[in-house]
């Protein structure tokens, strides 16, 4: 019974991970775009004066999109038209199933992996499931029975198929170095250091592979500079015939895809859940010193938060006279609570219980993974508001004549280097 | 060659060195735009250029995060841009010291108005020292182009545009034709 519950809990955790990050990533997109373009971005929607710097706008959007009229044009193929957005969302969530959020938790003699499935062919599963993503786009384009949607769908399928090759080939180097398909094993193999100071992450072992992977991940998620299938700003894409929540589902699928791609990039090239310089064993063994240190860091961070929120309060009181002027007080209260919690933790911290060190390692690794994933989702946003879109022929030329040869060469070179290193040993 | 048209320095640059600029037309046609050459290897693998671009955008982002007050955007209804002293906002009609309207219904503003938005109905003033007064003074703000010619035209300084009001939207057209009461008192 506990086993079944644990599996369910794991599944829910892995599901919640991308879904709960969604509003945050959409906020990244809006606020990042605004700040890059010297605008302020969304800052109006509020719940009792609390605006969270605009995150509440995502909530307002959800309410708007759910309550909007759902128009199904008369000329569409209803079955596939309805299925397409669901497929899109389902695929991006399915991909998360093999991504480890932290190292296997060993507690009370029980091993709990922090992924839905400890598949030993995880990388293959990834490649297989991500290539399903294009079905959503093609289905949407075709079932809409409109030439604009169809053109968008065709652009998408050509692009995704072209870049999938590079995506697969760029991972080969990583697989050769670490010698496994299991994503948790790959993450675990990235502990330790290179040349004494660099974390032994995939990106330092496979820089070319990383660049290729990242580029094709942009193309696979249909993000700028490869957002021709969608072209939400100018050229019309596969979802012109969609409205209300069906459209929102495509929109959400794009952002969920971003999060998942960021998670995969992190796992393969940035050490996954690895805390830099501290392996799981180190974390567990030195938990006695690391726990107080992290409580102290939390306390310091909350003091910083209090200072910043006071500064924000002064800025707000110059502008607003209504509830919003009091907004920063709430943040200050939250930081004070955090500070109290951290101080209390420090004060009453005796000897750690037996379950303490593994749980501490879990929390540290989850946090580290989260930070890395958020950085990569931010990178997606950052690149989008920096680079212009590729023309279609440029896109194809880059994919087929640029990236695939480089990816193949990377595989060959990696093979030779590994062979010589092996033979010299 | 027409001596009135002198070749500018730009024309002279475009012409081959030493050659006399012949006609203006030839001088205009002389600027040659080079065909785009294929980019260098460094440029065609994009990475350096992409990083340069990313650095530019992140500079903007960081600056705006830490110096939000320096951003040109204003939190509009709460914070407003300071108007210039000569800003032409909604009109108002001035009063004499005894509270009667200054307007003598001379029709100067109505005549001067290029948008034809003022219409005045004049009547004889009971005070023999003043010739006329405005029975009706209707100003259709929907037609007004805010040129300020009515203010310039007024001989008695009865109409001004110094209220600084510019949020003039309303829910019905009728209320956007201001009558004398409105213009005098608000």
Closest-CA residue of A relative to B53 is A386
**Cβ within 8 Å of B, A 197-216:** 211
Q: According to the model, what pLDDT value does residue A382 have? A: 92
| Residue A229: Cβ within 10 Å count | 26
Contact A308/B at CB under 8 A: no
DSSP B101: B
DSSP A54: G
d(CA A374, CA A259): 8
Q: According to the model, what pLDDT value does residue A271 have? A: 86
The region, left, alpha or beta by phi > 0 then psi within -120 to 50, assigned to residue B120 is beta
What angle (nearest 5°) sits at the alpha carbon of residue A95, between those of residues A250 and A90? 40
Quote the minimal CA–CA distance from B72 to chain A in Å.
Answer: 8
pTM: 0.82
d(CA A88, CA A86): 5
Contact A323/B at CB under 8 A: no
- Nearest by CB to A35, from B60, B75, B79: name it: B60
Q: According to the model, what pLDDT value does residue A231 have? A: 67
Please indicate whether, in this complex, the C-beta atoms of B79 and A319 are within 8 angstroms of each other: yes
What angle (nearest 5°) sits at the alpha carbon of residue A374, between those of residues A208 and A7? 100
Please indicate whether, in this complex, the C-beta atoms of B71 and A39 are within 8 angstroms of each other: yes
Per residue in B13-50, pLDDT (tens digit) is: 444 555 555 556 666 667 778 887 777 776 667 788 88
Decide: helix, strand or coil at residue A275.
Answer: strand
CA-to-CA separations, A377 to A256, A309, A336, in angstroms, rounded: 10, 26, 30
Strand partners, B139: B118, B178
Contact B48/A at CB under 8 A: no
Residue pointed to by tokens 């200050």: A332
Please indicate whether, in this complex, the C-beta atoms of B73 and A39 are within 8 angstroms of each other: yes
Count of CB pairs separated by less than 8 Å, A with B: 47
Residue pointed to by tokens 């006329």: B132
Contact B47/A at CB under 8 A: yes
Decide: helix, strand or coil at residue A109.
Answer: coil
Please indicate whether, in this complex, the C-beta atoms of A38 and B58 are within 8 angstroms of each other: no
| Cβ neighbours of B56 in A, within 8 Å | 386
Are residues A313 and A329 in contact, defined by beta-carbon separation less than 8 angstroms?
yes
The torsion angles phi and psi of B164, rounded to 5 degrees, stand at 70, 15
Residue A221, token pair as written in the block = 């998620």
The torsion angles phi and psi of B139, rounded to 5 degrees, stand at -125, 115
Q: According to the model, what pLDDT value does residue B24 have? A: 62
Are residues A178 and A185 in contact, defined by beta-carbon separation less than 8 angstroms?
yes
Per residue in B94-103, pLDDT (tens digit) is: 999 988 899 9
Q: In what order do the strands lie in the sheet with B132-140?
A: B118-124, B132-140, B177-178
Dihedral sign from CA coordinates of A348, A350, A353, A355: positive
Q: Which of A94-98, A352-356, B112-116, B136-140 has the lowest mean pLDDT?
A: A352-356
- Nearest by CB to A38, from B47, B50, B60: name it: B60
Rg of chain A (C-alpha set): 23
| Cβ neighbours of B65 in A, within 8 Å | 35
Candidates A323, A221, A202; CA nearest to A269 is A202
Candidates A294, A359, A306; CA nearest to A337 is A306
Residues of chain A with pLDDT under 70: 231-235, 350
Q: According to the model, what pLDDT value does residue B12 have? A: 45
Burial class of A374 by CB neighbour count within 10 A (0 to 12, 13 to 18, 19+):
middle
Strand partners, B95: B101
Are residues B149 and B161 in contact, defined by beta-carbon separation less than 8 angstroms?
no
Please indicate whether, in this complex, the C-beta atoms of B54 and A40 are within 8 angstroms of each other: no
Strand partners, B138: B119
Closest-CA residue of B relative to A37 is B60
Work out the mean pLDDT of chain B and round it to a whole number. 83
What angle (nearest 5°) sits at the alpha carbon of residue A349, between those of residues A345 and A355? 100
| Cβ neighbours of B58 in A, within 8 Å | 36, 382
Please indicate whether, in this complex, the C-beta atoms of A37 and B68 are within 8 angstroms of each other: no
Please indicate whether, in this complex, the C-beta atoms of A38 and B56 are within 8 angstroms of each other: no
Residue B166 has pLDDT above 60, yes or no: yes
Closest-CA residue of A relative to B56 is A386
Q: Which of A77-86, A367-376, B68-77, B127-136 has the lowest mean pLDDT?
A: B68-77
- Nearest by CB to B47, from A32, A211, A319: name it: A211
**Cβ within 8 Å of A, B 90-129:** none
**H-helix or E-strand spanning residue A5:** helix A2-36
| Residue A4: Cβ within 10 Å count | 8
Contact A315/B at CB under 8 A: yes
What angle (nearest 5°) sits at the alpha carbon of residue A135, between those of residues A134 and A140? 105
Strand partners, B137: B120
Please indicate whether, in this complex, the C-beta atoms of A387 and B79 are within 8 angstroms of each other: no
Q: Which residues contact A155 (CB under 8 A, 6 or more apart)?
A: A228, A229, A237, A392
Are residues A62 and A237 in contact, defined by beta-carbon separation less than 8 angstroms?
no
Candidates A225, A238, A250; CA nearest to A154 is A238
Between strands B92-93 and B159-160, the pairing is antiparallel
Please indicate whether, in this complex, the C-beta atoms of B78 and A320 are within 8 angstroms of each other: yes
Residue B9 has pLDDT above 50, yes or no: no
Closest-CA residue of B relative to A211 is B47
d(CA A145, CA A155): 16
Q: According to the model, what pLDDT value does residue B121 have? A: 94
Q: According to the model, what pLDDT value does residue B11 have? A: 46
Residue B29, token pair as written in the block = 């046609």
SS3 content of chain A, % helix, strand, coil (to 5): 70, 5, 25
Are residues A76 and A339 in contact, defined by beta-carbon separation less than 8 angstroms?
no
Residue A271, token pair as written in the block = 């050490």
Longest dimension (CA), chain A: 74
Contact A132/B at CB under 8 A: no
């Amino acid at each position: 019974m506990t086993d079944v519950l644990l599996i369910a809990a794991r599944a829910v955790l892995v599901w919640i991970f991308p879904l709960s990050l969604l509003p945050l990533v959409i906020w990244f997109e809006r606020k990042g775009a605004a700040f890059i373009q010297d605008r302020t971005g969304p800052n109006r929607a509020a719940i009792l004066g609390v605006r969270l710097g605009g995150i509440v706008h995502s909530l307002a959007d959800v309410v708007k999109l759910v309550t909007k009229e759902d128009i199904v044009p008369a000329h569409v193929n209803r079955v596939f038209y309805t299925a397409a957005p669901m497929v899109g969302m389902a695929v991006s969530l399915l991909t998360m199933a093999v991504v480890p959020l932290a190292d296997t938790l060993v507690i009370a003699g029980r091993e709990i992996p922090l992924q839905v499935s400890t598949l030993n062919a995880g990388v293959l599963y990834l490649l297989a499931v991500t290539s399903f993503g294009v079905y959503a786009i093609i289905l949407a384009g075709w079932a809409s029975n409109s030439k604009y949607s169809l053109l968008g769908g065709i652009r998408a399928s050509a692009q995704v198929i072209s870049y999938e090759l590079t995506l697969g080939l760029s991972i080969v180097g990583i697989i050769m170095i670490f010698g496994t398909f299991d994503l948790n094993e790959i993450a675990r193999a990235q502990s330790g250091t290179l040349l004494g100071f660099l974390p032994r992450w995939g990106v330092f072992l496979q820089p070319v592979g990383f660049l290729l992977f990242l580029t094709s991940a942009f193309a696979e998620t249909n993000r700028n500079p490869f957002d021709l299938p969608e072209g939400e700003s100018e050229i019309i894409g596969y979802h012109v015939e969609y409205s209300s929540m069906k459209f929102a589902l495509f929109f959400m699928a794009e952002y969920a895809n971003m999060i998942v791609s960021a998670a995969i990039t992190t796992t393969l090239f940035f050490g996954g859940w690895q805390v830099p310089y501290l392996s799981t064993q180190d974390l567990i063994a030195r938990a006695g010193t690391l726990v107080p240190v992290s409580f102290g860091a939390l306390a310091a961070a909350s003091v910083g938060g209090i200072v910043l929120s006071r500064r924000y309060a002064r800025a707000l009181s110059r502008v607003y006279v209504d509830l919003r002027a009091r907004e920063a007080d709430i943040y200050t209260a939250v930081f004070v609570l955090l500070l109290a919690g951290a101080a209390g933790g420090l004060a009453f911290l005796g000897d750690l219980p037996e379950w303490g060190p593994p749980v501490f390692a879990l929390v540290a690794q989850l946090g580290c993974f989260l930070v890395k994933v958020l950085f990569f989702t931010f990178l997606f946003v950052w690149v989008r508001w920096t680079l212009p879109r590729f023309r279609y022929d440029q896109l194809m030329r880059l994919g087929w004549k640029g990236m695939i040869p480089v990816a193949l060469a990377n595989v060959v070179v990696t093979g030779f280097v590994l062979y010589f290193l092996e033979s010299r040993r | 060659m027409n001596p009135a048209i002198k070749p500018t320095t730009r024309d002279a640059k475009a012409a081959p060195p030493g050659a006399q600029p012949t006609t203006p037309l030839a001088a205009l046609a002389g600027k040659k735009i080079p065909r785009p050459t294929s980019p260098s290897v460094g440029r065609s693998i994009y990475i350096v250029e992409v990083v340069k671009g990313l650095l530019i955008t992140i500079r903007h982002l960081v600056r705006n995060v830490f110096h939000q007050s320096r951003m040109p955007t204003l939190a509009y209804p709460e914070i407003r841009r300071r108007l210039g002293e000569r800003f032409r906002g909604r009109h108002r009609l001035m009063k004499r010291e005894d509270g009667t309207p200054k307007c003598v219904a001379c029709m100067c503003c109505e005549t001067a108005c290029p948008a034809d938005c003022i219409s005045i109905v004049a009547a004889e003033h009971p005070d023999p020292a003043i010739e006329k007064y405005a029975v009706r003074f209707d100003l259709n703000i929907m037609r007004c182009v805010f040129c300020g010619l009515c203010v310039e035209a007024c001989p008695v300084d009865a109409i001004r545009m110094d209220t600084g009001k510019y949020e003039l939207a309303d829910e019905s057209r009728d209320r956007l034709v201001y009558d004398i009461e409105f213009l005098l008192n608000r």
